[in-house]
Amino acid sequence: MKYAEIQWRDSQPFSPDYEDIYYSSTGGREESEYVFLQHNHLVSRWQAMVAGEHFVIAETGFGTGLNFVLTMKAWAEQARPEAVLHYITIEKHPVSPEDIKRVAANWPELAETYEELLAVYPLPVEGEHCRALLGGRVQLHLVFADVIDALESRELQVDAWYLDGFGPDKNADLWSDQVFRLIEKNSGQGATLSTYTAAGFVRRGLQAAGFEVSKVKGHGKKREMITAVLNHKRPMQSTAPWYELEKINYQHKQAVIIGAGLAGLTTAWSLVQRGWQVSLVEKHKNIAEEASGNPAGLLMPRLSIDNKTDAQFYTTALLYAAYCLDRLQHNDTEQFWFHEGVYSIFKAGKAEKLINRHGYAKQFIDILQQHDLKNYIEDKDATVSFFPEAGWASPKGICESLLRACGASLRLINQNVTDIRQIDNQWQALDERGQGIASAEVLIIANGVGANQFDTVSWLPVSSVRGQITEIAASKSSVALNKALSFDAYVTPEYKGKHYAGATYRVNDDNAQLTQEEQDETVSHLEQCLPGVFATPTRLKGRVGFRPVSDDMTPIVGIMPDKEAFTEDYKELHHGRPNTQYPSAKYLSGLYINAAHGSRGICSSFLSAEILAAMIVNEPLPVSKNIADYLSPARFLMRKLKRGELLS
């Protein structure tokens, strides 16, 4: 994906690809307010909202961001202070920040709002990018994707639609009957819609999709425009009912989280930002005592050539994690995050394959022809790439910062949870005597390698992988490495006279002591990659951690399925009956999990926490439905049921 090509004609942006303007050269702001804000009756609807509600706007064609900026400004001035706006906008050709800044110069009165947008504007990477603005009162969901792909992979309840983008005669794909059907699928009952066009086929297409359509006076010289309302939403049949989640309205904004590592604390932070109170239960005396206690780790994505869902999750997760870490570091005096980019060494041809397969922009991954490592790398055929938005961090430092950020909304309890149970809609965390430690309607399992220790979730395929990090004293040659490096292992740049390198990978190994064998393995990797650069450690020094992994090496994030109900409802699945004949899935109300992040926890934890928090409070998810289902704990049951295997 790359930024849109824009030509400037009399200071107005023009798309040569679509041969159309981005907005009216006369009265662009006034037309946007008239067409989209006024004819969706937004201000009166916002003022009628009750406490706890959120409002969802969806837009086809983000363009220069004018509609969004005007909507955010109106929301700031007219909506209730406690209300939250989710603005979901789909753009196949993102406009560059430089071009948006040039557009913003046309409206000095919008400069402050545009500046806030540009401060969080993401790279042109395919997928959904969620950013908080206006102190969290506005949640922007920038979906960089084709409109059909974006709408097919989502299940939204949109309140108001902006149909923008280039005109129907210039960009027919954006105005097709399939798009109109998908708009209806993603609309809530009573959803409204407005657009500047009055084309007959658009009107007929919306009517065929179930909307009641009206033609009203257009703006300026335009004689007519279209508005519509969905008064009678048609029921939709799910093709994967086992992943359909019932909306649960919890009476109290309280949750219990088990585990005070990255997964637990990012989840706590996501809930606290939504006004929740969290009881965080940790068996150790201090937080981040297990894998999250490592002194250093890389923020890097997992890049899969063949698995697009996995690659999209990790690429958007990296950008979201960097955004969150920047926010945390900005408000913290203790440095734990080094947003410096990461060098990555690939075998010949692999980086090119990844870029070609997923269309990564050079702003995300750049193949370097000239670099600081040129005189050090032994393998001259290797490709050195640079990830500008990556970096390295202290996982323990992240956890401590998250704890401080949660403030009084988080209560830390240092006790060992040995079991969980639900009584009268309350989940209880129990000690070894069966006594209650903490209780709430919502309980979240985030205790790393112990995620499946409780009877209710013992079927989860979570195991432990031992990893050893080695501490190496800096040398005259090693201090020249000014950024973290990822290869068969990883190494940080010098910090306070030290480098951290690792981490080894040992399955079914519970030895908590440092070993010379693994230290030698790490040193050997360094020597093979950068011969003669690093000093050989004279003694064992480092740390051992145990990383939780699932059997498919993918995080487990979501609400826990009712295993017995799944077994009964889907036992005939392997016989080939149509999926639509099966009932919606039954899940365990209030029981969630965020676990099995493996060696990419810094990357995946923040976005996973947002997915979980959005599920709990019934907000639009920050990822596509495809990704949410990919992470769901129910996937393990469904794989067995589809094969006709008995669930143990």
Mean pLDDT of the chain: 93
pLDDT of amino acid 27: 72
Cα–Cα dist 391/342, whole Å = 6
Radius of gyration of the chain (CA): 26
Least confident of 384-398, 521-535, 586-600: 521-535
Mind listing the domains of the chain with CATH numbers?
7-229 (3.40.50.150), 253-339+393-459+551-570+587-633 (3.50.50.60)
| Phi, psi (deg, nearest 5) at residue 465 | -120, 125
Written as six digits, the tokens of 201 are 């086929």
Residue 648 has pLDDT above 70, yes or no: no
Written as six digits, the tokens of 496 are 């306070």
pLDDT of amino acid 266: 98
Contact 196, 157 (CB under 8 A): no
Distances (CA, A) of 165 to 43, 117, 346, 424: 23, 19, 39, 50
pLDDT of amino acid 221: 82
Element holding 177 (H helix, E strand): helix 177-185
Written as six digits, the tokens of 504 are 């080894």
Residues 6+ apart with CB under 8 A from 357: 305
Residue 26 has pLDDT above 70, yes or no: no
Cα–Cα dist 614/154, whole Å = 14
Which residues on adjacent β-strands are paired with residue 351? none
Distances (CA, A) of 295 to 190, 268, 298, 549: 52, 22, 11, 20
Residues 6+ apart with CB under 8 A from 476: none
Instruction: Write out pLDDT tens, residues 247-300.
Output: 999 999 999 999 999 999 999 999 999 999 999 999 999 999 998 999 999 999
pLDDT of amino acid 335: 95
pLDDT of amino acid 59: 97
Residues 6+ apart with CB under 8 A from 370: none
Please name the residue that has the structure tokens 């969980």. 420
Cα–Cα dist 199/218, whole Å = 12
Higher pLDDT, 384 or 411: 411
Which residues on adjacent β-strands are paired with residue 386? 343, 366
| Phi, psi (deg, nearest 5) at residue 113 | -70, -40
pLDDT of amino acid 586: 96
Cα–Cα dist 60/470, whole Å = 50
Residue 25 has pLDDT above 70, yes or no: no
Q: Peptide bond before 503: cis, by omega within 30 degrees of 0?
A: yes
Residue 631 has pLDDT above 70, yes or no: yes
**For the chain, percent of residues with pLDDT exceeding 90:** 83
Cα–Cα dist 624/620, whole Å = 10
Query: For strand 337-338 and strand 391-393, is the pairing parallel, antiparallel, or unpaired?
Result: antiparallel
pTM: 0.95
pLDDT of amino acid 167: 81
Picking from 403, 284, 273, the residue whose alpha carbon sits closest to that of residue 334 is 403
Cα–Cα dist 143/165, whole Å = 14
Give the number of other Cβ atoms within 10 Å of residue 436's Cβ.
12
Q: Rounded mean pLDDT of 78-91? A: 96
| Phi, psi (deg, nearest 5) at residue 263 | -65, -45
Least confident of 192-201, 323-332, 371-380, 639-648: 371-380
Cα–Cα dist 638/642, whole Å = 6
Least confident of 178-182, 513-517, 578-582: 578-582
User: What band does 377 get if pLDDT is binned at 50, 70 and 90?
Assistant: confident
